[in-house]
Every structure is written in structure tokens, then in C-alpha cells.
């Protein structure tokens, strides 16, 4: 008896191919984001991105070991975009070989050259200026980073651990501007001025200023936006209302710029959806997305001309230190070693 192979009718065949095409379409309509940021901070932006583009952004929160995870996944990694905070973490991804260069007119025209990788391996999405929190009972409107080591602040200065990336970033910038010897002298001066052991977070600086432990401290500006926009009567609101922000500059630099750290992103080396990954990065620096960064997270937008939250706007215009962040990041190891050498956290 002769057996015959089953045949696929023209209609059935067309349905099969249509289904395959739909699956392929869905694959190319997704982009996977690996991020060290709490997803809740950027979820509103990603949801708007999907509404505007039809591209779904799948978020994978990686608290620690982002570089190690992507390396272990190799060319099978589903990651399209790698997002993190702190320039050091971004540079580590580039040096670890898990990013790829991107050429985008939108990104290059929107983001200043000192805030992106020279070969397109990473891009700044928002800025976090490292500022001085000053007690409202102290009449100070201008400061340099150098002046915080002045003995007049003895017993009146507070900050978080010197080994925290926010502070090693600032120390690295100080080294880049003034040299390692001057940075050591400065750091010893800061240590001598400490009103309490470097610990806690940036908001604890404001808390301790309210508590009379210190008069001035170093912390990120966006936390002030959060505190001053908290509900009246809450602890956070009380801390925020006890201080004002002064943006220090480097005394020896005629540009008079304030040090910033960043949140930023890169396209993963083996991104399955490279084109959509670039679309996501371009969207994240659009006026709409940058408005959300500025008014939901209180971070300073990297795009010029974006309206700021009123609290952040009250700090005045941010003039960013023009020294390339990649140059500052080269001194991170020296900065960390210096913290230990002077016993800053002890």
C-alpha cells in the first residue's frame, strides 16, 4: 500500500506563515534592558516609550554583578541595553568588552562630548551634581570644593563613606584637576573637619544638619528635590527644609564647573535587537523622557532646555565641569586608595 505525505492546504500554509511572521514581528518589537537602577524609577519612561513606539521594553533588574552576568551569558545574552548609575560602572562595562559602539546623530547632537564615550560606547542620560548641603542658619552662597577642607568647618562637615562611588568620583575629579598630592592634603582636611563618622546616605547629611551635628556636607542635589517635595510634616521634608544647596566649583579651574556623576547606558555587545536598542537610547534623551527624568526623579536632564522641577530650578543654573568624565574615571583607583591611606572612613 502506498503511503502519501500529508499536504498543507494553501489556506493552512498561509496561516502558518502568517503565524511565523507574527512571532518574528513580536521578537523585533521587544527590547531587553538590564539595569542596576530600581525599575520603579524609570518604569514610567519605559511605559511611555512603548506607547509612542510600539516597542516593548523588558526590564531585568540586576542589583550586583551586571558585568559578570553579561560576560557569563556571552553571545547568548538577551540584553540589548545596559543601564547603570556612576560613570565608573559604565566604564567598567566598556573595558569589560560587553558594549558596542553606536553612531547616532540624535545622541551626538543632544549629549555634550564630555558626557559620552568618544567612540559611542556609552551615553549619559541624566546628571547627578555633587553639591554642598548648607544649614539655613549659615549664610553661605558660594563654595569651592577646596574650601570645604578649611579649618573653619572643623567638626561641622558631614558626608557618606569616602568609598561610596559618589565620593570616589568626586575625589577622582579632584585628582584630575589638582593632582594626587593636593588631593591627599584636601582629603585629610575634610577628615579633620568631620562632625561624625562618614556613614549612611546622602539624605542623612541633611538629617544631621537639622540635628545640629554639622553645618555643611557633600551630597547629590537630586535628593534635595525628593526631600523638599515630600509631604509636609514628614522627616524627609523637615530635613530638606533645614538646608539650602550650594554648587561648589574647583578653585583652580577657570571654567568654574560643578562635578557631576551620571546615570547612563550602552548598547550591549551581542544585542539581539540593536536597532531598537538605539531607538530606546534616543528616546531616553528626547524632550518628553528628559522631562520625566527632571520632574519624577529630580535628576538634572542631559538635554538642554528641559523645564526643571521648581525645587531643582531654585538651585540655579548648573554649569557642568567640562573635564571629560572618562578622564575623571581614570583616577577612580587612586581615589579609593587615597580614602584608605588617610583613614577617611575610620
Grid coordinates given for 88: 565608573
**Is-contact 330 174, C-beta < 8 A?**
no
On whether the pTM is more than 0.85, the answer is yes
Given this model, what pLDDT does residue 118 score? Answer: 87
**Is-contact 72 98, C-beta < 8 A?**
no
Which element (helix H / strand E) includes 245? strand 243-246
DSSP state of 306: P
Dmax (CA) of the chain: 104
Alpha-carbon span 182 to 302, nearest angstrom: 31
* Distant-in-sequence, close-in-space partners of 288: CB < 8 Å, separation ≥ 6: 48, 52
Which element (helix H / strand E) includes 185? helix 180-193
Q: Closest Cα to residue 87, out of 186, 168, 198?
A: 168
DSSP state of 270: T
Q: Is 81 exposed, middle or buried (0-12, 13-18, 19+ CB in 10 A)?
A: buried
Per-residue confidence in pLDDT tens, the chain, 346 aa: 444 433 333 333 333 333 333 333 344 469 999 999 877 778 889 999 999 999 999 999 998 999 999 999 999 999 999 999 999 999 999 999 999 999 999 999 999 999 999 899 999 999 999 999 999 999 999 999 999 999 999 999 999 999 999 999 999 999 999 999 999 999 999 999 999 999 999 999 999 999 999 999 999 999 999 999 999 999 999 999 999 999 999 987 656 799 999 999 999 999 999 999 999 999 999 999 999 889 888 999 999 999 999 999 999 999 999 999 999 999 999 999 999 999 999 9
Looking at the DSSP bridge assignments, the partners of residue 58 are: 32
Q: Is 278 exposed, middle or buried (0-12, 13-18, 19+ CB in 10 A)?
A: buried
Q: Is CATH 2.40.110.10 the classification given to domain 128-258+320-341? A: no
Alpha-carbon span 123 to 262, nearest angstrom: 9
Residue 182: CB atoms within 10 A of its CB come to 14
Q: Is 223 annotated as a binding residue?
A: yes
**Is-contact 166 198, C-beta < 8 A?**
no
Q: Is CATH 3.60.130.10 the classification given to domain 17-127+260-307? A: no
Given this model, what pLDDT does residue 67 score? Answer: 97
Given this model, what pLDDT does residue 342 score? Answer: 98
Q: Phi first, then psi: what are they for 279, rounded to 5°?
A: -60, -40
Do 17-127+260-307 and 128-258+320-341 show the same overall fold?
Answer: yes
Which SS3 state, helix, strand or coil, does residue 33 take? Answer: strand
Query: What does the domain layout of the chain look like in residue ranges?
Result: 17-127+260-307, 128-258+320-341
Given this model, what pLDDT does residue 254 score? Answer: 59
Given this model, what pLDDT does residue 253 score? Answer: 64
Amino acid at each position: 500500500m502506498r503511503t502519501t505525505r500529508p499536504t498543507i492546504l494553501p489556506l493552512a500554509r498561509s496561516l502558518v506563515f502568517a503565524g511565523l511572521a507574527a512571532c518574528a514581528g513580536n521578537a523585533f518589537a521587544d527590547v531587553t534592558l538590564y539595569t542596576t537602577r530600581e525599575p520603579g524609577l524609570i518604569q514610567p519612561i519605559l511605559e511611555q516609550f512603548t506607547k509612542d513606539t510600539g516597542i516593548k521594553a523588558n526590564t531585568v533588574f540586576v542589583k550586583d554583578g551586571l558585568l559578570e552576568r553579561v560576560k557569563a551569558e556571552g553571545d547568548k545574552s538577551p540584553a540589548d541595553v545596559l543601564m547603570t548609575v556612576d560613570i565608573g560602572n559604565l566604564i567598567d562595562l566598556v573595558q569589560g568588552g560587553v558594549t558596542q559602539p553606536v553612531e547616532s546623530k540624535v545622541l551626538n547632537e543632544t549629549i555634550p562630548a564630555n558626557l559620552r564615550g568618544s567612540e559611542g560606547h556609552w551615553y549619559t542620560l541624566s546628571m547627578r551634581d555633587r553639591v554642598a548641603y548648607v544649614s539655613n542658619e549659615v549664610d553661605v552662597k558660594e563654595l569651592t570644593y577646596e574650601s570645604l577642607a578649611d579649618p573653619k568647618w572643623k567638626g561641622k562637615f558631614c558626608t557618606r563613606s569616602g568609598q561610596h562611588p559618589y565620593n570616589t568620583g568626586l575625589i577622582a575629579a579632584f585628582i584630575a584637576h589638582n593632582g594626587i598630592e593636593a588631593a591627599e592634603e584636601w582629603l585629610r582636611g575634610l577628615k579633620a573637619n568631620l562632625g561624625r563618622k562618614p556613614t549612611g546616605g546622602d539624605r542623612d547629611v541633611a538629617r544631621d544638619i537639622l540635628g545640629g551635628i554639622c553645618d555643611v556636607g557633600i551630597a547629590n542635589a537630586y535628593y534635595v528635590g525628593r526631600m523638599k517635595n515630600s509631604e509636609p510634616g514628614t522627616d524627609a521634608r523637615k530635613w530638606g527644609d533645614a538646608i539650602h544647596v550650594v554648587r561648589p566649583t574647583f578653585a583652580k579651574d577657570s571654567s568654574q564647573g560643578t562635578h557631576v556623576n551620571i546615570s547612563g547606558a550602552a548598547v550591549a555587545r551581542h544585542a539581539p535587537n540593536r536597532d531598537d536598542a538605539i531607538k530606546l537610547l534616543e528616546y531616553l534623551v528626547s524632550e518628553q523622557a528628559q522631562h520625566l527624568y527632571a520632574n519624577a526623579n529630580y535628576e538634572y536632564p542631559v538635554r538642554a532646555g528641559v523645564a526643571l522641577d521648581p525645587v531643582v530650578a531654585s538651585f540655579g543654573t548648573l554649569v557642568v565641569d567640562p573635564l571629560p568624565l572618562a578622564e575623571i574615571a581614570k583616577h577612580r583607583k587612586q581615589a579609593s586608595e587615597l580614602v584608605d591611606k588617610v583613614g577617611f572612613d575610620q
